[in-house]
Amino acid sequence: MTETITTRLSGRTAIVTGAGRGIGRSIAQRLAADGAEVLVVGRTLEALTATVDVIEAAGGKAWAMAGDISATADVAGIVAEALDRWGHIDILVNNAAVFDEPPFLDVDAETFRRTFAINVTGTFLMSQAVARGMVACRSGAIVHISSVDALGADGPVTAYTATKAAVVSMARTMAMELSPHGVRINCVAPGFVNTDMVHKTSTPEVLRHMLHDFTRVPLRRLVEPEEIAATVSFLVSDEASAITGSNLVVDGGLTANLFVMETLPESMIPLGE
């Protein structure tokens, strides 16, 4: 896709978690391209450095910090470093998440706890630490990356699906409490996105189908990471100044279609004829 780059975030400061690859890297690139200075956060410094290199090569500003967002001490250190460098934080994008579990009858308690620790507790810790300063400044925007999995079941991923529903619910409560203080909270719910994970878990024929003739999706294709990034950039900008507490779905129409008619053995008899 062709990106429309703007200066809508000129002078803003932003933290993006899980920014070493995939959707997180695309979000960091887009926020930087739109004028923000971005702190990219994740568990692997090498991957984060690669993100910074891409951003700087395009003329943007970025720096990296490795850390575990499920650890209170790491979160405190990340936010303290950002405040020491910038004095304030304008934008937080909670993208970091894990997605690795067996079917329901096989998933163990430790995997379930670990998934919640990163996807939910980590999102909470980062949001709370950043929001305190935003409330003091009476300005700021936080976006959680949720998923269409928060709206319906999608394969054997019980823990992941539960965490994404929790993140959406948490965003609504945060919006009720923080919006009166000038801090907006929203979610972006991606559908099936063209990332490395999809490539790794798809056969060549399945990948070809999803990229070019994805029958289940009205747009007939995967969503591109850049399309998620563009949505995030809009939501954290002043153009979305009246939007808070929302879960904006970016799925190519996937959840708009119940997919009932397409699965019948033959077509229904049309009415009105």
Assess whether 160 carries a catalytic annotation. Answer: yes
> Smallest Cα–Cα separation from 92: which of 53, 127, 49?
127
**Cβ-contact 222, 210 below 8 angstroms:** yes
Nearest-angstrom CA–CA distance, 103 and 101: 7
Cα four-point dihedral sign 100, 104, 110, 113: positive
**Active-site option among 124, 160, 192, 214:** 160
Burial 112-136 (b: 16+ CB within 10 A, else e): bebbbbbbbbbbbbbbebbbebbbe
Residues 6+ positions from 7 with CB-CB distance below 8 Å: 34, 35
Catalytic residues: 160
